[in-house]
Every structure is written in structure tokens, then in C-alpha cells.
């Protein structure tokens, strides 16, 4: 029989599991409390009781996975730096200290499980301000430690150059590792052959390390790319000019059509007025004729006739 305490613990775990799966699937912004309660089969009161807000709930999700991961990373980096002190440490050693613990945790369902790498990929790729702020606020010391280790392993790369190269390279590697479940990821890289995790990670890190060590672009390379940009800009300008000319033509044709329509309407109105006026005139003439025809003819007065005759005589 479960106690009240164990039931509360099960409810909290279900909420965290549901939130983690939704975060992996759709990201932080699209994860809603309604979706979490539906996936975890709990009510909103349970979520508010355990976490009080979406932000605190997500912090709990990230903390239970990333805190143990970073503890293992730092311990492994300490061991590597002790074994290969100073500049003796290689870039592959530092890269291994970053990703070996993640692969190990992905093999252990009780602390990570198969979806752990996908969670890391989502964390590194999610652009929401909350996730980015959380990572910088909680794990800046970890990032600093690994940056210094990479700087010792790559002394010829300027620190400013190294910063953005690491940002690009580590996100790319995390995205590859997070692209699928670990069970499907390994066969894709091994192509059916028996291959250890170290071999798979070596295949991936070789490309990343090559990118970190790549020389800075020379003048000829910059010039070649600038030429391509110039061609692209010219094409874009031509396309813009064509669109503007097309828009002007359409506007002119629309104006001409509007003028023609207005003229036709004006002519139609004048014609209507003319017909109406002619009709009015004809009606007036006809009315006058009718009135004249309808005037009665009275007989002459005999006295008037005698007076006119007498005046002549």
C-alpha cells in the first residue's frame, strides 16, 4: 500500500517526466501547463502545489538532468588535466570530458535514459530567453572551465576566435547526438559493424576538432567569398528593380483603367441626361398641343358682330 508521501513523489515524477518529453518534442515556449497536466494525468492544482509556475517546473527538469551531468563532466576534466597537465592535454581529451558522461548517462535509464541526448540537443538549440538565461546563470563556471581547457589544448587559436568556434562546433555535435535515440544512432554510424562508444565519438569529434584547428581565412579566400556576395547583391538589386518596374506598370495600367471607367461612366451619365431632357421637351410640346386642341370654340356674339359692321359703315 502506497503512503501519502510516495504518492506525492510519484505525482511529482510524472509531472517532471511529462514536462521533459514535451520540452524535447516542442521546446520551452510551446510547452503549456495544460499539455503537462494532460500528459501526466494530473490536475493543475498538483502542478501548482509542487512547482508553482512553469519556470520553476522547467528548472526542476533541467536541474535533475544537467546537474549530475556537469558534476561528472568536471570530475572527468579534473582527471584528464591531472594526467595531461598544462599544454599536454589534447583537444580530444577535453571533448571526451564533455561528451563521455552524456553517453554514459544515456546508457543508464535511472539517471537519463535513451532520450537524454535528445534532451541535451534541445537544451543547446532552444532559443527561448528563459532557457538561455538559465544555462548561463547556472552553468557559466562549467563553461569557463572547459573553455580554459580548450584554450590550453589549442594555444595557436586566438581566444576570441576560439569562443565562437566552440559555440558553433559544440552545438553541431550536440545536435547530431540528439538527432535520434541512442539505440538508432549507433547503427547509423557503425553501418552494421561492431564499434565502441569511443570509436563513434572519435568519428564525430574528428570533424569538430578539425573545425576548431582550421586556419583563419586568408585574403584570397575572403576575396572569393566577397565576389560571390557581390554577385548575389547585384542579382538581388536587379530583382528588386524588376519588381518595382512591374509594380509601376501595374499601377499605371490600373490608373488608365480607372480613367477609362470614369470617362465611360461620365458619358453614360451625359447620355442619360440628354435622353431625359429630350423626353421632357417632347412631353412639354405634346402637352401644349393637347392643351390647344382641348380649348373650346365659343359662338360669336351678335351684338359684337353688329358693332363691328356699323363701325365699318
261/192 same-domain check: no
Residue 223 has, within 13 A of its CA and on its CB side, a CA count of 3
155/253 same-domain check: no
Q: How many whole angstroms separate alpha carbon 101 and alpha carbon 71?
A: 9
47 in a structural domain = no
155/258 same-domain check: no
Domain with 276, as residue range(s), is 224-294
Q: State residue 136's pLDDT score.
A: 86
Q: How many whole angstroms separate alpha carbon 165 and alpha carbon 97?
A: 18
305 in a structural domain = no
Q: State residue 6's pLDDT score.
A: 45
Count CB atoms within 10 A of the CB of residue 36: 25
CATH number, domain containing residue 94: 1.10.357.10
Q: What is the CA radius of gyration of the chain?
A: 45
Chain CA centroid to CA 237, Å = 26
116 in a structural domain = yes
For the chain, 313 residues long, give each residue's pLDDT as a single digit of tens: 344 444 667 899 999 999 999 999 899 999 999 999 999 999 999 999 999 899 999 999 999 999 999 999 999 999 999 999 999 999 999 999 998 998 888 888 877 777 888 888 888 888 899 998 998 888 888 999 999 999 999 999 999 889 888 888 877 777 676 665 555 655 655 666 677 778 878 887 888 888 888 887 788 888 898 999 999 999 999 999 999 998 888 888 888 888 888 888 878 777 776 666 666 666 666 655 555 555 555 555 666 665 666 655 5
DSSP secondary structure letter of residue 216: P
Residue 169 has, within 13 A of its CA and on its CB side, a CA count of 23
84 in a structural domain = yes
Asked if 93 contacts 146 with a C-beta cutoff of 8 angstroms, the reply is no
Asked which of 187, 215, 243 is the last residue of a domain, the reply is 215
150/207 same-domain check: yes
229/187 same-domain check: no
81/204 same-domain check: yes
138 in a structural domain = yes
196/101 same-domain check: yes
307 in a structural domain = no
69/210 same-domain check: yes
Q: State residue 2's pLDDT score.
A: 44
252/234 same-domain check: yes
Q: State residue 3's pLDDT score.
A: 45
56 in a structural domain = no
Q: Please state the length of the chain.
A: 313
Q: How many whole angstroms separate alpha carbon 145 and alpha carbon 77?
A: 9
180/95 same-domain check: yes
154 in a structural domain = yes
Q: State residue 202's pLDDT score.
A: 83
Asked which of 215, 239, 273 is the last residue of a domain, the reply is 215
Q: How many whole angstroms separate alpha carbon 153 and alpha carbon 161?
A: 14
Q: Is 84 exposed, middle or buried (0-12, 13-18, 19+ CB in 10 A)?
A: middle
Asked which of 179, 198, 215 is the last residue of a domain, the reply is 215
Q: State residue 216's pLDDT score.
A: 78
Q: Which three cell numbers stand for residue 183?
A: 539505440
Q: State residue 215's pLDDT score.
A: 82
Nearest to 115 by CA among 67, 180, 167, 163: 180
210/258 same-domain check: no
247/211 same-domain check: no
Counted domains in the chain = 2
Q: How many whole angstroms separate alpha carbon 47 and alpha carbon 38?
A: 11
Q: How many whole angstroms separate alpha carbon 71 and alpha carbon 94?
A: 15
Distances (CA, A) of 27 to 15, 104, 118, 119, 120: 16, 24, 11, 10, 12
Dihedral of the CA atoms 100, 106, 109, 114 (nearest 10)? -170
Amino acid at each position: 500500500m502506497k503512503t501519502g508521501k510516495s504518492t506525492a513523489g510519484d505525482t511529482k515524477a510524472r509531472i517532471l517526466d511529462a514536462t521533459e518529453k514535451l520540452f524535447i518534442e516542442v521546446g520551452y515556449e510551446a510547452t503549456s501547463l495544460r499539455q503537462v497536466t494532460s500528459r501526466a494525468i494530473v490536475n493543475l492544482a498538483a502542478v501548482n502545489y509542487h512547482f508553482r509556475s512553469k519556470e520553476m517546473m522547467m528548472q526542476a527538469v533541467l536541474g535533475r538532468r544537467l546537474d549530475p551531468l556537469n558534476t561528472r563532466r568536471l570530475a572527468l576534466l579534473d582527471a584528464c588535466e591531472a594526467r595531461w597537465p598544462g599544454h599536454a592535454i589534447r583537444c580530444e581529451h577535453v571533448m571526451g570530458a564533455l561528451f563521455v558522461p552524456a553517453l554514459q548517462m544515456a546508457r543508464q535509464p535511472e539517471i537519463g535514459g535513451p532520450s537524454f541526448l535528445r534532451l541535451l540537443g534541445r537544451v543547446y538549440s532552444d532559443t527561448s530567453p528563459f532557457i538561455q538565461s538559465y544555462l548561463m546563470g547556472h552553468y557559466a563556471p562549467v563553461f569557463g572551465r572547459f573553455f580554459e581547457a580548450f584554450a590550453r589544448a589549442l594555444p595557436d587559436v586566438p581566444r576570441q576566435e576560439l569562443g565562437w568556434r566552440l559555440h558553433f562546433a559544440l552545438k553541431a555535435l550536440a545536435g547530431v547526438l540528439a538527432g535520434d535515440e541512442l539505440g538508432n544512432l549507433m547503427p547509423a554510424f557503425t553501418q552494421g559493424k561492431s564499434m565502441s562508444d569511443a570509436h563513434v565519438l572519435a568519428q564525430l569529434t574528428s570533424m569538430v576538432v578539425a573545425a576548431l584547428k582550421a586556419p583563419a581565412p586568408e585574403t584570397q579566400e575572403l576575396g572569393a567569398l566577397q565576389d560571390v556576395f557581390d554577385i548575389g547583391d547585384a542579382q538581388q538589386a536587379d530583382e528588386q528593380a524588376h519588381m518595382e518596374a512591374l509594380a509601376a506598370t501595374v499601377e499605371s495600367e490600373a490608373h488608365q483603367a480607372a480613367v477609362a471607367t470614369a470617362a465611360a461612366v461620365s458619358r453614360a451619365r451625359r447620355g442619360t441626361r440628354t435622353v431625359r431632357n429630350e423626353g421632357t421637351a417632347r412631353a412639354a410640346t405634346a402637352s401644349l398641343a393637347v392643351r390647344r386642341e382641348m380649348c373650346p370654340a365659343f359662338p360669336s356674339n351678335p351684338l359684337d358682330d353688329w358693332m363691328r359692321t356699323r363701325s365699318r359703315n
